[in-house]
Amino acid sequence: MKSIAIAAALAVSALAAPAFAADPTPAPAAAAPDAKLSVENSTIEQIIANPAAKAALEKELPQIPAYYDQIKTMTLSQVAPMSQGAIDAPLGSCQRS
């Protein structure tokens, strides 16, 4: 009986541990649609929250929507090295705009 109570207490503490270990730092807020977006500082999530920016991004990189869930917290500058050159030319045109 005592071992069942101990096992139950351990199980409850194991379930509660992730809640205590969670990072209390809030996620960055999405950029307002009118906010100035940046290749270096705006996350993909912030870019696609702006309909005009999302349309421009998808026009230049039609394959990118397939990766939104994987890269949404990254900036275009962070994604570029992983793209093996696939976004270098479109990224350059975005930086000049």
- In the chain, where the domains are located: 44-96
pLDDT of 41-51, one tens digit each?
999 999 999 99
Mean pLDDT check: name the lowest of 23-27, 70-74, 75-79: 23-27
Mean pLDDT calculated for residue range 13-23: 44
> In this predicted structure, which of 31-35, 48-52, 56-60, 89-93 has the lowest mean pLDDT?
31-35
| pTM score above 0.85 | no
The sign of the torsion formed by the CA atoms of 80, 45, 64, 91 equals negative
Whole-angstrom distance, CA of residue 6 vs CA of residue 47 = 50
pLDDT attached to residue 13: 41
Q: What is the DSSP letter of 30?
A: P
Rank 7-11, 12-16, 18-22 by mean pLDDT and report only the highest.
18-22
Closest CA to 90 of 66, 70, 62: 62
